[in-house]
């Protein structure tokens, strides 16, 4: 097992836990659907969290041929992974024995969700540093579109801004996946 494999094994476990966390909450809400008031905004928030886990896991593939990993790179990647777990934890509520209003949950949790998402974007930039400490400009530019939806959602509480943010984050993520698909070949 290489050092890269060793590090990515731990990161993959955290990604799996984050995905399990969000999927188990969604499944519980589906089972309690009689007591759950649906919210499309909250559903988009959950979808964006799931897609970010997928993107993060796939991005590990891109580093497979990287040179030696520095301790700082490993720590930043680990911190990023923990933040991503909190993105997932803040995206969907627990199903309780009482009624669950997903619209109310969205408005109460949107700042936490987009705040963690913004932190994950910042951590991504630091994780992209090469072992020499330089930032590869192409990778840095690829993270820029992920900032705008988060900043809009945090700065403008209007419903239209929340929709633009959620859909915008989905579009940016889907575009990244389509572009990364060519790198997998």
Per-residue pLDDT of the chain (185 residues; tens, 9 = 90+): 787 888 889 999 999 999 999 999 999 999 999 999 999 999 999 999 999 999 989 888 777 776 677 788 888 889 999 999 999 999 999 988 899 999 999 999 999 999 999 999 998 887 765 544 555 556 666 778 899 999 999 999 999 999 999 999 999 999 988 887 666 65
> What is this structure's pTM?
0.90
How many residues belong to the chain?
185
Q: How far apart are CA 146 and CA 159, in angstroms?
A: 19
């Amino acid at each position: 097992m290489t050092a890269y494999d060793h590090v990515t094994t731990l990161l993959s476990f955290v990604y799996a836990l984050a995905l399990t966390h969000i999927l188990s909450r969604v499944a519980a809400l589906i089972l309690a659907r009689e007591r759950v008031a649906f919210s499309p905004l909250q559903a988009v928030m959950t979808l964006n969290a799931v897609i970010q886990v997928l993107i993060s896991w796939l991005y590990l593939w891109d580093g497979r041929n990287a040179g030696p990993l520095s301790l700082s790179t490993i720590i930043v990647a680990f911190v990023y992974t923990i933040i991503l777990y909190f993105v997932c934890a803040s995206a969907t509520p627990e199903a309780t024995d009482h009624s669950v209003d997903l619209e109310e949950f969205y408005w109460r949790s949107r700042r936490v969700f987009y705040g963690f998402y913004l932190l994950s974007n910042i951590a991504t930039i630091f994780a992209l540093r090469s072992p020499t400490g330089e930032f590869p400009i192409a990778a840095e530019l690829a993270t820029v579109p992920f900032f705008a939806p988060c900043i809009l959602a945090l700065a403008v509480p209007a419903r239209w801004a929340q929709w633009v943010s959620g859909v915008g984050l989905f579009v940016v993520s889907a575009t990244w996946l389509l572009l990364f698909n060519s790198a997998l070949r």
